[in-house]
Structure formats: structure tokens, C-alpha cells
Amino acid sequence: MPHSDSTVLRVIASGVCPAPRSSGCPPDRDDNALIDICDWSVTSSGLVDAIASSVSGLLSTGDSSDDGTIHHRERARTTGSSAGCARRGENESEASEEIARERNRVRGASMMRERSIYRSNATVEVDPRRFCEGWVGVRGPMPGARFVVVAPISHPWRWSSLGGPKTASMGRWSGVKEDGVVRAYRIEHCTGLEGSVQIQGAKNSVLKLMAATILATGTHWLDNVPRITDVEIMRSILASLGVTSDWHGPHRLRVDVPSPEDLASQPDYDLVKSIRASVVLLGPILARTGQVAIATPGGDDFGARPVDIHELALTSLGAVVEAQEGQLVAKADQLVGCDLVLEFPSHTATDNVLMAAVTARGRTTIENAAREPEVIDLANALIEMGAQIEGAGTSRVIVDGVERLRPMDHRVIGDRVVAATYLTAVGATGGQVRISGVDPSNMLILIRKLTSVGLTFELDEQSLCVTASGELKAVDIQTLPYPGVATDYKPMLVAMLSVADGVSVVSENLFAGRFRYLDELRRYGANVRSEGHHIIVRGVPRLLGAEVTAHDIRAGAALVVASLAAYGESHVLAVSHIERGYDALAETLVELGATIETIEV
């Protein structure tokens, strides 16, 4: 496409407000940090190269701070097609070197921005820590922006390299799946859900079970495995260690683990950064190979989850653990059993200790262990592999180390968080739904709270039937370690309570900062606000359809619940977050009577 004024891309670096002032942003951005990419034909066939060439000019005029932000000393803007392209050509060789140095320098940074799209004259942020992978996100005004590309809304772009999205929309936000397709949900008001649901395998269990396969050479089989993005990411992480896997049917996974000498001890850095559950690889890799180097895990953006508890636990087992350039590095010739008291009943820390201790020399006693059903599921699988474990599901777990383990053939338990999502959807819209494949005894406190809200239940051994036929009542809820109300339930509960009669107080006692979705709920007209670690929910008679953004898995599910209750039409964007933890959520809700269409934005 020949150059014209409407096809100029603009790169902004280090802007406090990464959008032009015409979009309504406060005038805090440094106007001097601008440069135009004037050759649209170049950008449409290779946006990454064009950005790199232009950003090199910015880098050459600026100093880099310790946090990875570029500070500029002079105006770095060119105008006109020939001038811009000449500038790009002069800096092309410099670009690759500068960008490579910048990638390496910020690679170990602890924070990483996630993908998103924000409608501020189509402001697109390219994070240098993801620059090498071709991941592109779009953000609205935010402090500490790194690189931003501004393009006209009428001109989508295409990536030609680096595995990035093949197409992208200039909408406010859209989830970008690994296949490059940008998706959103269009949801209409629902007057009730009816039917039955078979619950998928638990995400918070299967990822740990996949990690546990590292402990035994041979062929492992896992049944009831959900087809979700996080499972595919974990498969890729295992592949980077030399562990292969393939599907045998829709939900049966085969995992082939080589001998220890053929196992790598350092999983792929960027894959590990993409999911928080990857921290559970520490224990099994260390136990199997005697050493491990793993990036500080990433995942959903809703507050810090310190890894100190994992370091202390592995150190107690005899490992030498230290942090090196954004990674945890641990070594141990032989892990040795110990008496260990966890400062907090963390389920991932309990998982790590279990997997490290099963082949350690001697006995390990874990006090204040997590009691979640997913921890029990892992312990049962390890016992199938030949481990000696007592007390799983209680606060005191005893592990007697064995010399070696055998492969497992295990069925993953049902996902109680997914079940809770359907329960709140019924509560918000009305109707009757039977939910199978999950043990109601793992959700008793939640069921008690929902009964107080006005839902009625019939419970069986592996199923429950929920009915909502009247007005919802406000209730106070606080998140606590199991068997308390799980923090993962909270966003969906808040969405449901936003149409309940009265004032509810929902308290978050586990993770700070998990309130980002409240801004999105307010777009529907919900009366919700945060005070410290509490959420005050004043029920309103009705929600109205809105365009909203999913910032993490459960926030996305909460927005689906709110969209079903809202009058009119809603668009839930960034559904790739939802697909990280839900197997066919939209399709299942449609079967229950909802009107949901998956669209390309």
C-alpha cells in the first residue's frame, strides 16, 4: 500500500500517557518521544521490523533506567515518507543490536504486561520483554509505558514473523489466542438457564499432575483433562524439558517422560512466565535432576504471590536456593526429609513439597499444609505412582521417601471453580441446572452462602441441582483457605450479588489487589466499590449491556455472568483469558439457553 497521511504509524516510547492528547489523555506525555513509520507497505508486511527500525532511533537518543523505561533527551520525530523511510534505513542495522540488548536487559524484570487492546485512537503497546516473541498488546493510559504504536482504526495490521497475531482489531480490548485469531463474546440478556452440565477436569489439579509426571520415567495417562490454554502451555513447558505429550481422544492425555539424564533442568523462560502454576515445577524437576532454574512465574494480573514460601520449603529439604536474574535456581545432590511448618497453607507450596519429598531420603512432615481437594488429588496420584503419603486433606501430611516411582494412570477431579461459575450464572438469571462431575462436599461453605442468597440445592455424591426462582438477597462473604470460600469464586459472586436486594460485603483475605474487574462491572451500572480489602456491593434492580474487558480468568467469567443478567447486548473482550481456564464455557451456556456468539473483533 503506498504511503499516505492516514497510514502513518507512530511509535511512542516511555510515555506516562501512551495515547495522543486528542483521545482525552492528560497532557503528561513527552511529545519529544515520537517517531513516525511512514512506509505502510513495510509495516503491513513486517510490523516488527519497522517498529524495531524506528525504535532504534529512540534508543539512540535516550538513556535507559533500571526499570526498563527509555528516557529521551531530544526530539526524535521525522515527518514525510522519504524522511521517515530514510531514517528507518539508516538505523536498520543498529535496530537489531539495540533491540537485542534491550530485550536481554529487561528479560529478568519481575513484572510483565499482559496483552490487551484499548480504544484510545488505537494505541498499541509493544512490551520489550515480549518484543522478541511478537506479542502485542493494546493499553489505555497507564504509567511506565514502554513502546507504543499508534495506528488509524481503519487499518488493521498483519504480523509476518515471530508467531504474533495474523490479524488484529483496533477495538478497546480483544483477546489474542495463540492461533492469531482475535475473539470476543457477544452476549444477550438471559431470562433463565435450564438443563445439565458435565464439569471439566480441574485446572488447579491437572497442571500439578502434569508436573508430577516428571517424577517417573515412562508413559503416563491422564483422563478428564480440560482442553484449555493453560494445559497447552504446560504441555509446551514440559516439551522444553524433553517430555512429550499427545491427545488420545478429547480429554485423555498421554505423557511420555524420558530418563533423568535426558531431562532438561531449565524450562522455557517465557512459557514459565505466562502461567503462575509453573511454580510447581520446582519440586519435581529438582527431585528428578538434582537442579532446577526456573523463571519467576507469571500469569493472571491480580496482585503479588510471593515465592518465598517455596524457597524456604526446598531449603528445609536440603536444597541450596537463590534468585539469579529473575530466576529461582536450586541444587541438591540428595533431598533429605525434614519437619516443615508452612507459614501459610499455600496449596502450590504444599504441592511442591509433596513432589520434592516423595523421593527424598527419610520422612517429611508438613504442618499447616493446604487442604484443598486439588492437593488431595495430587497426593492420590502420587500414591498411585508408589509414594507413601498419609494425611492428605488435613493440616498435617507425612511423606516417607521412596527410591523410585512408576507412571500414573489417573482421572482428574472435577473443577469446583467452574461449577461455581455455573451456580452464580443460574443465580443471576434464574432457572434450574443439574451440575455433574464435581463433589458437592468440596463446596459446602459456598453452597451454604448461596442458599442464604436464595438459591436451593439438591445434592448427590458427584452432582448437584441448583434452582433460582425468586429475588436474590444480599450476603456477606469472606475468602479463606479451604474449606472456606475460595478466592477464585469471588469475582463471580460479586457479579451475582450486584443484582441482589440489599448491601453485601465481600472481603478478600488471600490476595491483595484482586479488584480490577470492579471497573468493568460498573460499566453495566453495578454499584460496587472497594474499601481496603473489602468490596461493598449495593444491589441494583437491573444491569444494562456494556462492552467490557476480561483482565484474568475469573474476572472474565464474572463478566460473562454479569452479561447474562444485563438487559440488552454486551460484549466481553479479551476472551483468551477466559479460555485459559474454561473449556467451552460459551458453548455450554448456549446449550443451557443463553444467547452467546463468539465473534472476531
Distances (CA, A) of 380 to 347, 383, 388: 15, 5, 10
Q: For residue 59, what pLDDT is reported?
A: 35
Between 50 and 405, residue with greater pLDDT: 405
Is 72 inside any structural domain? yes
- The reply to whether 562 and 499 lie within a common domain is yes
- The reply to whether 367 and 486 lie within a common domain is no
- The reply to whether 146 and 13 lie within a common domain is yes
pLDDT band at 580 (very low <50, low <70, confident <90, very high): very high
pLDDT above 90 covers what percent of the chain?
64
339 catalytic, yes or no?
no
Is 181 inside any structural domain? no
Q: For residue 298, what pLDDT is reported?
A: 56
- The reply to whether 353 and 228 lie within a common domain is yes
Q: What is the mean pLDDT of residues 73-81?
A: 28
Query: Which of the residue ranges 72-76, 124-128, 312-316, 484-488 would you say has the lowest mean pLDDT?
Result: 72-76
Is 178 inside any structural domain? no
- The reply to whether 296 and 441 lie within a common domain is no
- The reply to whether 390 and 443 lie within a common domain is no
Beta strands 477-478 and 503-507 are parallel
Residue 265 above 90 pLDDT? yes
Is 581 inside any structural domain? yes
Beta carbons within 8 Å of 358's beta carbon, 6+ residues apart: 215, 287, 382, 385, 387, 388, 389, 399, 401, 402, 405
Cα–Cα distance for residue pair 225/203, rounded to 1 Å:
8
Which is the catalytic residue, given 127, 270, 300, 377?
300
| Ramachandran bin of 548, using left for φ above 0, alpha for ψ from -120 to 50, beta for the remaining angles | beta
pLDDT band at 306 (very low <50, low <70, confident <90, very high): low
CB count in 10 Å sphere of residue 137: 18
Average pLDDT, the chain: 76
Is 38 inside any structural domain? yes
Q: What is the mean pLDDT of residues 276-282?
A: 93
Distance of alpha carbon 452 from the chain centroid: 31
**CA angle, 11 as apex, 8 and 14 as ends, to 5°?**
160
**Of 411, 431, 458, which residue sits at a domain end?**
411
Q: For residue 180, what pLDDT is reported?
A: 53
Cα–Cα distance for residue pair 11/499, rounded to 1 Å:
43
Residue 591 above 80 pLDDT? yes
CB count in 10 Å sphere of residue 591: 14
Q: Provide φ and ψ at 245, rounded to 5°.
A: -150, 155
Q: For residue 472, what pLDDT is reported?
A: 98
Cα–Cα distance for residue pair 199/414, rounded to 1 Å:
6
Give me the domain span that covers residue 464. Answer: 186-199+415-600
Residue 158 above 80 pLDDT? no
Cα–Cα distance for residue pair 562/545, rounded to 1 Å:
9
**Of 385, 411, 437, which residue sits at a domain end?**
411
pLDDT band at 510 (very low <50, low <70, confident <90, very high): confident
Q: What is the DSSP letter of 20?
A: -
Residue 290 above 50 pLDDT? yes
Is 180 inside any structural domain? no
Where do we find the cell 438487559? 567
Which of 35, 10, 7 has the alpha carbon at shortest distance from 23? Answer: 10
DSSP per-residue string spanning 249-318: SSS-EEEEE--GGG--SS--HHHHHH-GGGGGGHHHHHHHHSEEEEEPP----SS----HHHHHHHHHTT
CATH of the domain at 347: 3.65.10.10
Residue 176 above 60 pLDDT? no
Residue 48 above 60 pLDDT? no
| Structure confidence by residue, pLDDT tens digits, 320-332 | 999 888 888 999 9
Q: For residue 15, what pLDDT is reported?
A: 30
Q: What is the mean pLDDT of residues 62-74?
A: 31
Residue 53 above 60 pLDDT? no
Cell of 195: 438443563
Which of 29-38, 42-51, 327-336 has the largest mean confidence?
A: 327-336
Q: What is the mean pLDDT of residues 16-36?
A: 31
pLDDT above 70 covers what percent of the chain?
68
Q: For residue 55, what pLDDT is reported?
A: 41
- The reply to whether 131 and 238 lie within a common domain is no
Distances (CA, A) of 350 to 280, 358, 411, 487, 521: 9, 12, 21, 18, 34
pLDDT band at 488 (very low <50, low <70, confident <90, very high): very high
CB 226 within 8 A of CB 251: yes
Q: For residue 171, what pLDDT is reported?
A: 27
Q: What is the mean pLDDT of residues 539-560?
A: 96
- The reply to whether 193 and 207 lie within a common domain is no
Q: What is the mean pLDDT of residues 210-235?
A: 98
CB 329 within 8 A of CB 305: no
Is 28 inside any structural domain? yes
- The reply to whether 101 and 194 lie within a common domain is no
Name 570's bridge partners: 187
Where do we find the cell 533506567? 65
Q: For residue 324, what pLDDT is reported?
A: 85
Q: What is the mean pLDDT of residues 256-282?
A: 94
Q: Provide φ and ψ at 239, rounded to 5°.
A: -60, -35
Which of 528, 457, 519 has the alpha carbon at shortest distance from 496? Answer: 528
Q: Provide φ and ψ at 150, rounded to 5°.
A: -110, 125
Q: For residue 182, what pLDDT is reported?
A: 66
Is 177 inside any structural domain? no
Helix (H) or strand (E) holding 388: strand 388-390
Q: What is the mean pLDDT of residues 279-301?
A: 86
- The reply to whether 400 and 450 lie within a common domain is no
pTM: 0.72
Beta carbons within 8 Å of 118's beta carbon, 6+ residues apart: 19, 138, 139, 140, 172, 173
Could you give the number of structural domains in the chain? 3
- The reply to whether 157 and 212 lie within a common domain is no
Between 62 and 246, residue with greater pLDDT: 246
Residue 151 above 70 pLDDT? no
Q: For residue 43, what pLDDT is reported?
A: 31
**Of 411, 427, 442, which residue sits at a domain end?**
411
Beta carbons within 8 Å of 567's beta carbon, 6+ residues apart: 189, 542, 543, 544, 545
- The reply to whether 420 and 402 lie within a common domain is no
| Structure confidence by residue, pLDDT tens digits, 364-419 | 999 999 999 999 999 999 999 999 999 999 999 999 999 999 999 999 999 999 99
b/e string for 9-21 if b means 16 or more Cβ within 10 A?
A: bbbbbbbbbbbbe
Amino acid at 57: G
Between 131 and 519, residue with greater pLDDT: 519
